[in-house]
Amino acid sequence: MKYSYFPGCSLKGLGRSYEESLLPVMKQLGVEIAELEDWNCCGATAYMSVDEAKAGVLAARNLAIAEKSGPHDLLTPCSACYLVLNKTKHNLEDFPDIRDTVHNALRRGHLTYSGNTKVRHPLDVLVHDVGLEAIKQKVVRPLKGLKVAPYYGCQVVRPYSTFDDAWNPTTMDRLLAALGAEVVHYPLKTKCCGGSLTGTVPEAGLRLTYILLKEAVRRGADVIATICPLCQFNLDAYHDQIDRRWGPARIPTVYFTQLMGLAFGLPARQLGLQRNFIPMKALGTERATV
Amino acid sequence: MNANGKNGELRIGFYICHCGHNIAGVVDCPAVAEYVAKLPGVAVSRDYKYMCSDPGQELIQQDIREHKLNRVVVASCSPLLHEATFRKAVAAGGLNPFFFQMVNIREHDSWVHTDRAAATTKAKALAHAAVRRVRFHKALETTRVPIHPDVLVVGGGISGIHAAITIANAGKKVFLVERDPSIGGHMAKFDKTFPTLDCAACILTPKMSAVRSHENITLWTYSEVVKVEGYVGNYTVTVKRKPRYVNEDLCVGCQECIKACVYKEGKFPDEFNVGLSKRKPVYIPFPQAVPQVVVIDPHYCLQLKTGKCKKTCLEACADRQAIDFTQKEELVEIKVGNIILATGFKLFDAKRIPQYGYGLYPNVVTSIELERLVTSSGPTSGEIVLRDGKPPKSVGFILCVGSRDMKTNRWCSRTCCMHSMKLAQLVREHTDADVTVFYLDIRAPGKGCEEFYDKSLRDGIQFVRGRVAEVTDWALAPEEEGKLVIRVEDTLAGFVRRIPVDMIVLAVGMEPHADAQDVRRLFNLSCGSEGWFLEKHPKLAPVSTFTDGVFIAGCCQGPKDIPDSIAQAGAAAAEAMALIDKGYIEQEPNTAYILEQDCSGCKSCLPLCPFTAITFDEAKQKASINAALCKGCGTCVAACPSGSIHQNLFEDEEIFSEIDGVLSYA
């Protein structure tokens, strides 16, 4: 099982603990991962809303490099990258104007893209390609008693609900259950985390973040599991402001890959768990079955 | 009579109809008439404003007499509409009605083209083809087949009940077949009916009893049609009678066996109360059930499941000995002339819209569940309560759940607006709750329905226009704590609202039954793209189908309320009776026949016939076709390797000349 890998900027910066946990987990499962050479910014949703064609060029360059590197699916952990690359693929299929602009630009860079490379999220790959059975076999330290709120964020299932339901995704719920965790009923699982509004219009953005946090606390969760770097940052980084505005709603937010790493028996530091503002309480060692 | 007149001379009359502007607006009719006039064999060629009118038909008859016509061609609309009209006119003029050919230049030409010159060219080519073809037409006779006077009604809801009683009252025998253990259908579950708020049971149960006691009705509940053979007037139907493990003739409905069952309390979801209460393995579906006969559910009955039970029910039944654990499924064959399908609908499964939280939040209920709660014979004896037994202080109705929705069902279910308003008024009557209705549009077109909407507004029911986004249980404000919160864009106020309520009622829409496609195949019907049974014509033949002698009534044809269902049931009954009282079916002579001397006896045709009209004469080693069974599909004609099978009205020379005619126009 081999995949090309597009980390995007987040996984090398703010969201480095996502990469720090993703790579060893994949290695444990025998999944081979090759980072794209000379990848560039996906353009994020910001550029898309300014100029879709030019933003498409930026994103399509990554797709072209991936296609050149081999016939593997492109693993894209960041939800924003995942959405932008998928949207670019759709735009190239549906809009001849954008297709022409993008292909002309790629040609000047001595690149082509025929549309073959699939853009895949690690959650999709882990559950559907690797499979829950294979994952279960690697669990040496089940997350027994750990109550987890599964939080998917908006972008991974909308608008392209390619591998799960747009309203009620359950892929991560099943994965967490396979790790032995207790999955908390969390109907806010695809609600907006505030996105970039936490920085630009905090009044609106932080309110959304607060709702997610306080509902996770109210429903008895020990930890929120996320699959997106921006979600993780918003839910983790603004607790002081949230405390001031609405009162405390303290709960750690970690990547689902970090929980997988813990269940696989990897040490917390190796999974980047020390980087959290709100730290996750250590799991009792008595649960280790090694 | 010599087909080509006394001297063998061919004298064709050609008529092109303007159909007002329908045809003449696009096709140059006089030019077509002028063109046809010059074709060989054409004696008369005319254009006329409305050929189907009395003067138009008179024109044909007059020409037959005056110009000694022996063939007639009319270029006008679809044969479906007026072929019979013109054949009659030809016959009235003294010719065999099959010396006639019709050309469809409306649906096939003027309605689908805009270029006048090209459309005129096409009309000429089509007319030329018919003129060439009609030369080879033969004098044919229709045959008459007697009609079996009995009728089968499938489905014992209000539509089937009404159709059965109507026909039975006219003195005809009716078989009423119902899948469930009792007739009554959805209506039996209702408390009151809109817009009059009269008691549903009071108007339904007398009709149910009438079915049971009617001397002309044979009622088979817990039964299903499994096979249908034959054709209009002469259907052979096989009905599967499921074992109820109780002898219907011996059981008097005393229900002592139910009391005596080893299960002291009900344990299994009660279908009639849509799972809101529990029943025992031995049960009667509801107090007014018809027939008043107990059923034993083999899925739950200990004796039937394990063979190990004290069988206290048998003791209770004592000398009657109505309980019979050895009962087996039975197949019964009946003969009927007409069939009325009134198989109804199923309700939309609200779990398909997960954002409304049905199945997740206990106080989100469907409209039919609330209907059972509000009924005095229901699980709460008519009290509207939350799952914790307390009365709700606020209730929200969400409309169009599984209707008018691109993601689920696109059609309007037609009854949910009124049904919800009825329930809303009943909630106001039974509780002190505030009621808010969330709607897209209020559709209240029925008689007295708009007035009912007015009354709802006057009674203080709140209406918020907008499709509800979601139902959640998380609170933003103190007044939302512990409530269900409806998030909706109020499209009249122009902003997003959060409205906390105690109970949410989902007005689930109607859908075709899960097995509608199987039923469709069984009765040889068509379905529209949504899966409802398709009527022969949406306006002019709303209860007929493309299969003669099979009629549809009620919600199996599409969502409708009780008055509309009854109207259709009555219409279907009248259509069936019209056929019965006529006494015979006139069959088109477009049947296939075998030229015996050419038949090699290869039997290729035998398995192909969908109507089992072909038999094999072992003595002669030849196939032969029963004209009464042949529906003229032409399958055997095309398949016969020796070319010995021919078909009236579709003879080779007729079809080849028609093709020559189309191609000869340059």
Could you report the per-residue pLDDT of A59-77, keeping only the tens digit for each?
999 999 999 999 999 999 9
Give yes or no for residue B149 having a pLDDT over 90. yes
Q: Which of B563, B565, B545, B540 is nearest to B553 (CA)?
A: B565
Q: Name the closest residue on chain B to residue A169, using Cα atoms.
A: B354
Inter-chain touch A167–B355, beta carbons under 8 Å: yes
Fold of the B346-511 domain: FAD/NAD(P)-binding domain (3.50.50)
Task: Establish if A93 touches chain B: CB-CB under 8 angstroms.
Answer: no
List the single residue in B with minimal CA-CA distance to A218. B474
Using CB atoms, pick whichever of B354, B360, B474 lies closest to residue A188.
B474
The CATH-assigned architecture of domain B6-140 is 3-Layer(aba) Sandwich (3.40)
Q: Is A217 on the interface with B (CB under 8 A)?
A: no
pLDDT at A73: 97
Task: Tell me the mean pLDDT in the region B266-284.
Answer: 96
Question: Tokens at residue B464, please?
Answer: 């918020």
Give the closest of B354, B355, B474 to A215, CB-based: B474
Top-level class of domain A2-120: mainly alpha
**CA-to-CA distance for B70 and B99, rounded, in angstroms?**
7
If we measure between CA atoms, which residue out of B171, B545, B443, B354 comes closest to residue A161? B354
Computed over every residue of chain A, the mean pLDDT equals: 94
How many C-beta neighbours within 10 Å does residue B325 have? 17
Q: Of A40, A44, A54, give the one whose Cα is nearest residue A104.
A: A54
Mutant choice from B355, B474, B487 vs A, greatest count of A C-beta within 10 A = B474
| Partner residue opposite B354 with nearest CB, options A167, A211, A215 | A167
Average pLDDT, chain B: 95
Given this model, what pLDDT does residue B447 score? 95
Q: What's phi and psi for B188, nearest 5 deg?
A: -60, -20
User: How close A211 comes to chain B (CA, Å)?
Assistant: 8
Which DSSP helix (H) or strand (E) runs through B334?
A: strand B330-336
Average pLDDT estimate for B276-301? 96
Q: In this complex, do B476 and A187 lie within 8 Å of one another by their Cβ atoms? A: no
Residue B218's pLDDT band, with cuts at 50, 70 and 90, is: very high
Amino acid letter for position B163: A
- Residue A271 · residue A20 · CB < 8 Å: yes
The residue of chain B with its CA nearest to that of A210 is B476
Average pLDDT of the residues in B400-407: 96
Q: Do B472 and A218 touch (CB under 8 A)?
A: no
Closest Cα in chain B to A185: B360
Q: Which helix (H) or strand (E) holds B75?
A: strand B71-76
Spell out which residues of chain A touch residue B354, defining contact as CB-CB under 8 Å. 165, 167-168
Structure confidence at residue A45 (pLDDT): 83
With a cut of 80, say whether residue B569 has pLDDT above it: yes
Cα nearest neighbour of A190 on chain B:
B355
Closest CA to A162 of A260, A95, A79, A99: A79
Our separate counts of H helices and E strands in chain B read 16, 34
CA–CA gap between residue A177 and residue B254 (Å, rounded): 52
Per-residue pLDDT reduced to its tens digit, B417-473: 999 999 999 999 999 999 999 999 999 999 999 999 999 999 999 999 999 999 999
CB contact under 8 A, A218 and B476: no
Spell out which residues of chain A touch residue B360, defining contact as CB-CB under 8 Å.
185, 187
Residue B666 confidence class, pLDDT cut points 50, 70, 90: low
Strands (E), B479-619: 484-490, 495-501, 503-508, 510-511, 550-552, 584-587, 592-594, 614-617
List beta partners, residue A5: A35, A75
Measured at the CA of A143, the angle between CA A138 and CA A147, to 5 degrees, comes to: 145
Mean pLDDT value of segment B565-586: 96
**Shortest Cα distance, chain B CAs vs residue A199, angstroms:** 22
| pLDDT at residue A284 in the model | 56
At B223 the pLDDT is 98
- What pLDDT shows up at residue A285? 46
Task: State whether B474 and A167 contact (CB < 8 Å).
Answer: no
Residue intervals of chain B classified under CATH 3.50.50.60 are 346-511
First CA to last CA across chain B, in angstroms? 36
Which pLDDT score, from 0 to 100, does residue B7 have?
55
- Minimal Cα–Cα distance from A167 to chain B, Å? 7
User: Is the pLDDT score of B199 beyond 60?
Assistant: yes
Q: Does residue A287 carry a pLDDT above 80?
A: no
Q: Which residue of A has its CA nearest to B351?
A: A168
Q: Indicate yes or no: CB of A188 within 8 angstroms of CB of B357.
A: no
With contacts defined as CB-CB under 8 Å, which chain A residues touch B473?
187
Q: Do B473 and A211 touch (CB under 8 A)?
A: no
- A167 CB within 8 Å of a chain B CB: yes
Residue A22 has a pLDDT of: 98
What tokens were used for A37? 């050479």
pLDDT digits (tens, 9 = 90+) for B33-64: 999 999 999 999 999 999 999 999 999 999 99
Residue B11's pLDDT band (cuts 50, 70, 90): very high
For an interface test with B, the pick among A164, A167, A188 (most B C-beta atoms closer than 10 Å) comes out as: A167
What pLDDT was estimated at residue A271? 95
What are the b/e assignments for A131-158, b being 16+ CB within 10 Å? ebeebeebbebbbeebebbbbbbbbbbe
User: What is residue B339's DSSP assignment?
Assistant: E
pLDDT digits (tens, 9 = 90+) for B95-138: 999 999 999 999 999 999 999 999 999 999 999 999 999 999 99
CB contact under 8 A, A218 and B474: yes
Domain with CATH 3.30.70.20 in chain B: 592-648
Q: What is residue A236's three-state secondary structure?
A: helix
Total beta-carbon pairs less than 8 A apart between chain A and chain B: 17
Pairwise CB contact (< 8 Å): B474 & A187: yes
Q: Does this chain's domain A2-120 share its CATH topology with A139-275? A: no
Q: CATH number for the B592-648 domain, one of 3.30.70.20, 3.40.190.10, 3.40.50.360, 3.40.50.2300?
A: 3.30.70.20
pLDDT of B565 strictly over 80: yes
Q: What is the pTM of this model?
A: 0.83
Locate all alpha helices (DSSP H) within B523-610, ordered by sequence. 562-582
Report how far residue A103's alpha carbon sits from residue A168's, in angstroms, rounded to the nearest whole number: 37
**Residue scoring higher pLDDT (B3 or B348):** B348
Separation of alpha carbons B630 and B632, rounded Å: 6
Beta strand segments in B147-280, E: 151-154, 174-177, 192-193, 198-199, 217-220, 223-231, 234-241, 268-269, 278-279
Q: Work out the minimum CA distance from A138 to partner chain B, whole angstroms.
A: 33
- Of B355, B473, B474, which is closest to A211 when you measure between CB atoms? B474
CATH T-level assignment (fold) for domain A139-275: Rossmann fold (3.40.50)
Looking at residues B558-578, what average pLDDT do you find? 98
Q: Would the CB atoms of B474 and A165 count as touching at under 8 Å?
A: no
Count of residues for chain B? 666
A173–chain B Cβ distance below 8 A for any pair: no
**A7-63 tens-digit pLDDT:** 999 999 999 999 999 999 999 999 999 999 999 999 988 898 899 999 999 999 999
Q: Where are the domains of chain A?
A: 2-120, 139-275
Q: Report the gap between the CA of B502 and the closest CA in chain A (Å).
A: 18
